[in-house]
Amino acid sequence: MKLPFGPGALVAAAFIGPGTVTACTLAGANFGYALIWALVFATAATMVLQDMAARLGIASGKGL
């Protein structure tokens, strides 16, 4: 079965990097949903860190 990939998936794969995409694909194939907790934790941590970075940038008036 051939699944269509849109441009968003290709851009994300290029931005993340081929090694990370390969490692994550293999981890998903080997462990299935056993590692879903890591995805949830990483997403929550990323959201908190992005929010903190945005607030710091607004408060200080400085960018990256």
- Residue-wise pLDDT for 34-53, tens only, equals 989 998 999 999 999 999 99
Residue 24: how many other CB atoms lie within 10 Å: 13
- The answer to whether residue 54 scores a pLDDT higher than 90 is yes
Element of type H or E holding 30: helix 18-31
| pLDDT value of residue 2 | 65
Residue 2 lies in a domain: no
Residue 1 lies in a domain: no
Instruction: Give the chain's domain count.
Output: 1
Residue 48 lies in a domain: yes
Residue 50 lies in a domain: yes
Segment 19-30 mean pLDDT: 89
Q: How far apart are the C-alpha atoms of 29 and 23, rounded to whole Å?
A: 10
Residue 18 lies in a domain: yes
Q: Which domain holds residue 22?
A: 7-60
> Torsion angle of alpha carbons 43, 47, 50, 54, nearest 10°?
170
pTM of the model: 0.60
Q: How far apart are the first and last CA of the chain?
A: 44
Residue 12 lies in a domain: yes
Q: What is the DSSP letter of 4?
A: P
